[in-house]
Amino acid sequence: MQKRIPVVALIILGLAFVTGAGTQAGGQATPATPPQPPAGPRYIVTYVEVAPASEAQAAGLMKAYRDATRRDEGNLKADVLQRTARPGHFVIVEDWRDDAAWKNHRQGAHATQLQDKLKGLRVSPYDERSHTGHALGQAASTPGGAVLVVTHVDVIPPGQVQLREMLTTLADASRKETANMRFDVLQGVRPNHFTVLEAWRDQRAYEAHATAAHTKTFREALQPLAADGAPYDERLYRLLP
């Protein structure tokens, strides 16, 4: 007579089979499927640094790229910023309808050609960073003479939740300043990395913001959260026409 296996034993065997389904031969776990990127707009911030003798040529290439990008399907905004203190440093800021529109653009001719043409001019890698929106406002048009600010903020991972709240508070207070034209907080692919984009009417307005109580409060609270070797990296730019 065939011996019957107890029901409890069958359940245990079934659980063992399910548990082991994600394990490869040799006991190694099957790599987890990477999470899907969140839906919604994409904000791309790209840093380009070129040799001093190549500033004008690089600016022309990036302006041509900007103009072509603005005509791409799904593009909401594209600007080129030139650093005031170091004119060989540029930032390209792009707003896209969604992740698919941005990725389609990256495969286009003008996107690949820009990187090829900049290779001989660059003194550092082409640094392209994708973001989602965190604290966004209603941007106004940027007049000539406006001061544009791009800031990278990097904290140790345990502090990212607190930093999100701090950046939201700072953005809300900064937008209430009369000379502010933009104050947007973007969150990077790594959730403890943020980029802050600001626009101020002129240098005096920017300096008033830098000494405002809410700005000083934010920077003092940020210090204990900041990652080692990652200062509050704030840089000033002008908008290329």
Directed axis angle between helix 99-106 and helix 109-118, to 10°? Answer: 60
Answer for the pair 197, 135: CB distance below 8 angstroms, yes or no: no
Partners of residue 49 on adjacent β-strands: 89
Phi, psi of 88 (to 5 degrees): -85, 0
CATH of domain 42-239: 3.30.70.100
Answer for the pair 62, 240: CB distance below 8 angstroms, yes or no: yes
Question: Which tokens belong to 116?
Answer: 């090829």
Nearest Cα to Cα of residue 92 among 144, 152, 47: 47
Directed axis angle between helix 213-222 and helix 160-175, to 10°? Answer: 170
**Buried b / exposed e along 7-18 (16+ C-beta atoms within 10 A):** eeeeeeeeeeee
Directed axis angle between helix 55-69 and helix 109-118, to 10°? Answer: 170
Give the whole-angstrom CA distance, residue 29 versus residue 180. 52
The pLDDT value given to residue 15: 33
Give the whole-angstrom CA distance, residue 113 versus residue 150. 25
Residue ranges of domains in the chain? 42-239
Give the whole-angstrom CA distance, residue 41 versus residue 32. 26
- Which residues contact residue 238 at a Cβ distance below 8 angstroms, ignoring those fewer than 6 apart? 81, 82, 84, 146, 147, 148
What is this structure's pTM? Answer: 0.83
Mean pLDDT by 10 residues, the chain (241 residues): 42 35 48 65 98 97 98 97 98 98 96 96 97 92 90 92 97 96 96 96 96 96 80 90 94
- Which residues contact residue 179 at a Cβ distance below 8 angstroms, ignoring those fewer than 6 apart? 200, 201, 202, 204, 205, 208, 209
**165 CB neighbour count, 10 Å cutoff:** 10
Question: Which tokens belong to 190?
Answer: 């790594």
Give the whole-angstrom CA distance, residue 57 versus residue 62. 9
Give the whole-angstrom CA distance, residue 54 versus residue 115. 15
